[in-house]
Every structure is written in structure tokens, then in C-alpha cells.
Amino acid sequence: MLQSQFTVTHQDGQARCGELTLRHGVVHTPVFMPVGTQGSVKSLAPDDLDTLGAEIILANTYHLYLRLGEARIRDLGGLHSFMQWNKNILTDSGGFQVFSLGAGSRQQKPLLEKMTEEGAHFRSHIDGSRHLLTPERSIAMQEAIGADVMMVFDECPPPYAEKNDQLASLQRTTRWAERCVQARTHAGGALFGIVQGGLSLELRAQHTEMLKQFSFDGLAIGGLAVGESKEEFMRTLSFTAAQLPTERPRYLMGVGTPADLVEAVNVGIDMFDCVMPTRNARNGTLFVSTGKLTIKNATYMNDLRPIDENCACYTCRTFSRAYLRHLFVAEEILFHRLATLHNLTYYLNLMSKMRQAIAHQCFQEFRADFLRYQETNFSGELAI
């Protein structure tokens, strides 16, 4: 029971362009999905997202479940109507928030109390109330939201867990995937599976095989970019991507830097989401064609140039670095929107350039040029 269509339109090496047709229109891949955790891409209104050319955004089931609940979001007509966004929405399952927002995170943390075969028992980060999230409840909530793409409710074990523990976790996650498949209704959107397995190539291959028994609309790679080295990340990513079916979209969850996106597209990934462009914007780190720019630096005090002379976003067409620095230093809230508009323009333009390079069979030249810039200009100190 597929609720989507996917066509690969161009291929260049492992990199590919595709058209993913969902209930709210076509998504051109490779695609980056801006994150709208609580039904709002922070600081932006839907007309801003239209101006950016976004075709799909991500919303978080965990936050919407606690803030609104299943019955209310259904009564309110679903998230599209609620937030007045008429293009596609992908929802995560809530699993990542419940299991994995661990030490060191600056996010508000839920408190995982107990994990059973039934699901995850946790306390709300908002009011301490007790909740049980199960595969069935996650799917019901995602259907109430009206998600165009739903994700299976899965466990995300720490990448360095014992292999036996990881295998047990994969088996449970597979049973939960099956419960999600059983729970979905004809009214729901597309459903993606999530391949786990930490940094073990063997487990990644095993789990991919387990998930192939279900006819998912797409497969995601979960549990990466959670603290492993760049080498471990790339080794696991490229191996796992190669295991995934070619005829379905491949989604790398929660990644990443601009260079990460280019490398992941290079091994055949089609979909991305990450809070980096939006969160960095609010922290004053702006992406530019020659690297990045920390707007609070005194060097920009009297700099009348735009953030990026090659950028056509409203912020760059209108304001100087000096003004944006002033807004940031004076803690003016207008800064958040202007910086977010710029950073998302950067990310969405990067995806557009990759799609063009793939269509013109020059992705390797694009990648080499891009990474040379990154090595020269990115210092790896990105404030995430």
C-alpha cells in the first residue's frame, strides 16, 4: 500500500535526482526539509517558506503530541490547515526525542522512564505528565497530523552499544516497524522505514534486509551523526546507502553540515532534515558561499556589504552586515527571521545546485569545487 510515487529522473554516479509525488505535490530530490518542530519553522510564516521554494518541511510528532494531542490536532483539521502550509509535511515518529535527546543536548528533554515491548514510557518535558508512546499511537498521531510522510516508531540505540544489545534492539525495532505497518490506515500518508545498526556494517546490512519485507514508501538511515567520527560516519553511510533499494527514496535523518549534504548526495541519499541552518541562524552563524560568517564579530560593525554578495534572499538584497550585527548584538528579534531566511536560502540553493549538477552530469566537478571551498574556509567550529 504505497502512498507515494518516486521516479529517478537523472543519475550521475551514485548521486541521483528524483521526483517524489506526495499528497501535497511533487518534491524534487535531493531535497532539504526545513525543521518546524512545533508546527512553525522558527520565525518564518508559510509565505516565507513559499518564497524559499520549500516543497516539504518536517514536524516533530513528540512536540505536537504533547502540545496538542491526537484528538485536538485532528479536530483542528490537521497540521496543514492549522499552520496554513499547503505543501508537504514529513513527521518523525517521536522515537528519537523520547529515546535519544541525551546528555549534552540543549533541547528540552523528555524523561524516559521505562522501555517495554509495548512502547516507551516517559514524562513530558513541559509538565512532567506521564505518557506511553507506542508504534500504534505514533502512527495514529502522525495520521491525525495529516503527515504526507510518516516515519516508523523505532528505537535509536547508542552507536557504541554491545553488538548483542544492538541486535536485540534491531529485532524489536523491526517488530515495531511491523506494528506501524499494521496500524496505518488508507487515510494516512506515505510510510518510511528506518534502518538502524549503529556503526556496524553487518548490523546495517541485516537490518536493511529485515525491513525489505515491508513495502515502505522509502527507507531512512537513522542513528548517524550522533557523535561518531567523520570517517565512521562516511563509512557507515556509504555502505548502508548502497544496501537500500534504488527505486525508493533514501532519507538521511538529522544531517547535517553543507559538506555532509554533498557527501551524502554523492553516495545516493535523496532527503535530508537538520536544525543546523535554522538554529545556527538564531545563534548568529550565517552560511555564505565562501564558508561561514559569525555575525557578532566586531569586524562586521561597519561592513556595508550584504551577508553574501552571491545570495538573492530578502536579507541579502536589503540589509548590510553592519545592520544585521547591530540587530544581533541589540537582541532585536527581527534578526532571527532575517538570518533564518538567509540560512535556509543557502541550504535550499545548495540542493538546487546539486540537482542541476546531477542533471548535467557534472556532480563530481561540483563536489570537488565545493569541498575545496569547505576545506579552505570551514574550520569545523560550527556553532550547532
148 is catalytic: no
Q: Quick one: 142 or 257, whose CB is closer to a second copy?
A: 142
Q: Quick one: 37 or 196, whose CB is closer to a second copy?
A: 37
Question: 29: closest CA among 309, 268, 232, 189?
Answer: 268
- Identify the active-site residue in 12, 148, 154, 273: 273
313/345 Cα distance (integer angstroms): 7
* Phi, psi values for residue 98, rounded to 5°: -70, -40
Nearest distance from C-beta of residue 322 to a second copy, angstroms = 6
Q: Quick one: 23 or 67, whose CB is closer to a second copy?
A: 67
Give the number of C-alpha atoms closer than 13 A to the C-alpha of residue 69, restricted to the C-beta side: 7
Nearest distance from C-beta of residue 312 to a second copy, angstroms = 15
- Residues at the contact surface with a second copy, assessed by CB under 8 A: 38-40, 42-47, 63, 67-68, 72, 75-77, 82-84, 301-302, 304, 314, 318-320, 322-323, 326-327, 329-330, 332-334, 336-338
Tell me if residue 203 falls in helix, strand or coil.
Answer: helix
Nearest distance from C-beta of residue 197 to a second copy, angstroms = 34
Nearest distance from C-beta of residue 125 to a second copy, angstroms = 12
Nearest distance from C-beta of residue 238 to a second copy, angstroms = 37
258/79 Cα distance (integer angstroms): 29
Give the number of C-alpha atoms closer than 13 A to the C-alpha of residue 162, restricted to the C-beta side: 3
Tell me if residue 288 falls in helix, strand or coil.
Answer: strand
Q: Which helix (H) or strand (E) holds 62?
A: helix 61-67
Please give, one letter per residue, the 3-state secondary structure of 69-96: CHHHHHHCCHHHHHHCCCCEEEECCCHH
24/88 Cα distance (integer angstroms): 5
329/347 Cα distance (integer angstroms): 25
Q: Quick one: 171 or 318, whose CB is closer to a second copy?
A: 318
Nearest distance from C-beta of residue 384 to a second copy, angstroms = 19
42/49 Cα distance (integer angstroms): 11
Q: Are strands 120-123 and 111-115 parallel, antiparallel or unpaired?
A: antiparallel
Nearest distance from C-beta of residue 59 to a second copy, angstroms = 12
199/373 Cα distance (integer angstroms): 29
Q: Quick one: 202 or 309, whose CB is closer to a second copy?
A: 309
Q: Quick one: 28 or 67, whose CB is closer to a second copy?
A: 67
Q: Quick one: 39 or 198, whose CB is closer to a second copy?
A: 39
92 is catalytic: yes
267/242 Cα distance (integer angstroms): 7
- Identify the active-site residue in 12, 92, 148, 217: 92
Q: What's the angle, vertex CA 177, arms to CA 98 and CA 261, rounded to 5?
A: 70
Question: 208: closest CA among 197, 200, 198?
Answer: 197
Catalytic residues: 92, 273
